[in-house]
Amino acid sequence: MSHYERILELRRQLEKFNHEYYVLDNPSVSDAEYDRLMQELIKLEQENPQFNDPYSPSQRVGGTVLDSFKQITHKRQMLSLANAFNQDDIEDFDRKIREALNVNVVDYVAELKIDGLAMSADYINGRLNYAATRGDGVIGEDVTNNVITIKSIPTQVNHHHNFEVRGEVYMPKKSLDDLNKIREQNGEPLFANARNAAAGSIRNLVSNIAASRKLVAVWYYFVNGSDFGIISHYQSLQVLKEQGFRINPHVRKCHGIEEVLNYIDEFAKLRPSLDYDIDGIVIKVDDITVYQKIGQTAKTPKWAIAYKFPPELAITQLKDIIFTVGRTGKITPNAVLSPVRVAGSLVQRATLHNQKFIIDRDLMIGDQVTLRKAGDVIPEVVSAVKEKRTGKETRFEMITHCPVCETLLEYKDPMHFCPNPNCSARNIEKLIHFSSRDAMDIEGLGEKIIELLFNEKMITSIPDIYKLERFSQDLMEIEGFSHKSIANLLDAIELSKAKSLEKLIFGLGIKEVGSKTAKVLAKKYQNIDALIQAKQEELSNIRDIGPVASASIASYFGNEVNLAVINELKTLGLNFDYLGPKDLGVDSIFKDKTVVLTGSLLNYTREEATEILENLGAKVSGSVSKKTDYVIYGEEAGSKLTKAQALGVKTMTEQEFIDSINLND
């Protein structure tokens, strides 16, 4: 057997073993035998580079580093699904389908709606051509280098034709827990849920990051299955399974909507026991030959719908209430909870905001409490389960002195503050804020690392961050640091010097100056020196900056200690100029207008849409009033849209917003 023939044979065997292990969960060889064959393949490929193949099983460990992802225009638009929130919505969906087809009963396919990242995989002659994210449904990102590291995805199949499949890349719950433990040890921010972790892994420019994250892919749509004589969605899934694609084992064909409703009830109960997160059930008409007759809207097919589970609630014990000190001195009570899994992640802490929040909810230490995740992200204590009280619970008492420096607290309704500017907790929080993602975004300089370096007296002020290199040898003596991690941290610190002015302004932690105000100031003054010279009266005349904020800004830049910090940062080489887009709003309909965003946007995140509008000169508000100029709405728009219509405020759909941007371009 020639080297080439042996390489092909090894690749075939290893792909077969990958499929058995990662798709069928039924391995036929030991790990040791798999590793032996893999090492043989790697050796042969190294000795015979002329036979290299980017889709070889040996390449699935990753290693590619990209500057950016190129764009892929989908051959067929990736539509979203309309949502159903209750039984009435589902029955209404069924009624419309039956009326459109003039039948009494419809066969459906019910599938678990896995909470992951939508993915399209295109195959030419049975070989993976590319994998792309959904993007805006028309254009996505080419993430092939990361997707081929997922061993449950076949890179070539026996179906030697051109076809496209769509599915979901997700992270199992255990993988998320393991990943967050590592991130916590490294002082990095934890992933809030498995979906964020999967998306962050797939959209990482370094492919071995994705390879290390233990992602899984399931496929739910054979896009052009009808080209091969397939007439049933359920049948198409079985064909995909036969070709080596992983499908969800809980897919079920249902005769009539009653069977669909039973399926929903069944998996609403089984949801916590699954090893992955689901946020609903997808319901599709099984007969794909009638899809064209049923039709679609511009964004959603009418032959499918997604039932969304109500917000998940959990009950756990409020074991204690502890207090943290923020960078402004604000004292925040926090719930210490018996660990409980909610909406995909393990929750042990939740903010209780302030004394009034606790009193209003009549929370007692020792209570059983209901917990949810606001927006499926932020843990929130909803209420006490008073009927479960035993009499051993204790009343909450607000502290009177700072838990760190013991200074007497000041009360400014409804908050308590530590007034000591030299409180170590406040200084640590200032450093954490400066390094955070919305500020200077220094990767690797998370909360635990900053606290460690502060206690070691290596970083006690913002300029110290940029002098950390002097402690390179000392860092080697600290557990968890290595030559590589130290080099990466110092590189990230160096890179942060080039951030645009608004990032620095926000990072300085000026009271009353959030990221939005920081951007307004940076655009207005263009460099730090011009901002420093601005008078309070001038600042108060800037739109969106009121008297309280202008007084705080003027006071900050009038303080010699703060100016000394800025001058030191200048000598350390930080950028103090605004580098963002300029004058985009000159001819924009949004220039100097107040805009409200509402509903679920399909093409942008809320943050992306806000940034676009702000760059066009708009003020983005969170509430609708007579002073609102435009309300831009997406799916599931609710009371804000209703109020806008009642007030006669101009409204526009997301697509109209996109069209207006294109016109402005």
| Tokens matching residue 103 | 């039948």
In DSSP terms, 452 is beta-bridged to none
Q: How far is CA 105 from CA 86, 254, 259, in A?
A: 20, 10, 11
The backbone torsions φ and ψ at residue 247, rounded to the nearest 5 degrees and listed phi first, read -115, 160
Rg for the chain, CA atoms, rounded? 28
Maximum pairwise Cα distance, the chain: 85
Q: Are 615 and 580 in contact (CB under 8 A)?
A: yes
Residues in Cβ contact with 417 at an 8 Å cutoff, skipping those fewer than 6 apart: 328, 329, 330, 331, 409, 410, 411
Q: Are 485 and 444 in contact (CB under 8 A)?
A: yes
C-alpha 616/C-alpha 610 separation (Å) is 10
From 104, 17, 7, select the one nearest 52 (Cα to Cα). 7
C-alpha 411/C-alpha 399 separation (Å) is 11
Q: Taking phi first (over 0 means left), then psi (-120 to 50 degrees means alpha), and beta for anything else, what does residue 329 get?
A: left
Q: Which residue has the tokens 């389908």?
A: 97
The string of DSSP codes covering 192-252 is SSHHHHHHHHHT-SBHHHHHHT--EEEEEEETTGGGGT--BHHHHHHHHHHTT----TT-E
**Strand positions, DSSP E, 286-329:** 304-308, 314-325
Q: Are 309 and 372 in contact (CB under 8 A)?
A: no
| 621 three-state secondary structure | strand
From 620, 47, 113, 558, select the one nearest 344 (Cα to Cα). 113
Report the residue count for the chain.
Answer: 665
From 406, 438, 618, select the one nearest 523 (Cα to Cα). 618
Measured over the CA atoms of residue 503, residue 507, residue 510 and residue 514, the dihedral's sign is positive
In DSSP terms, 83 is beta-bridged to 306
Q: Are 385 and 366 in contact (CB under 8 A)?
A: no
In DSSP terms, 349 is beta-bridged to 336
Active site (annotated) includes residue 113? yes
Is the peptide bond between 421 and the residue preceding it cis, with omega within 30 degrees of 0? no
| Tokens matching residue 121 | 């995989």
| Tokens matching residue 540 | 């108060």
Which residue in the list 75, 96, 113, 457 is annotated as catalytic? Answer: 113
C-alpha 539/C-alpha 536 separation (Å) is 5
Active site residues: 113
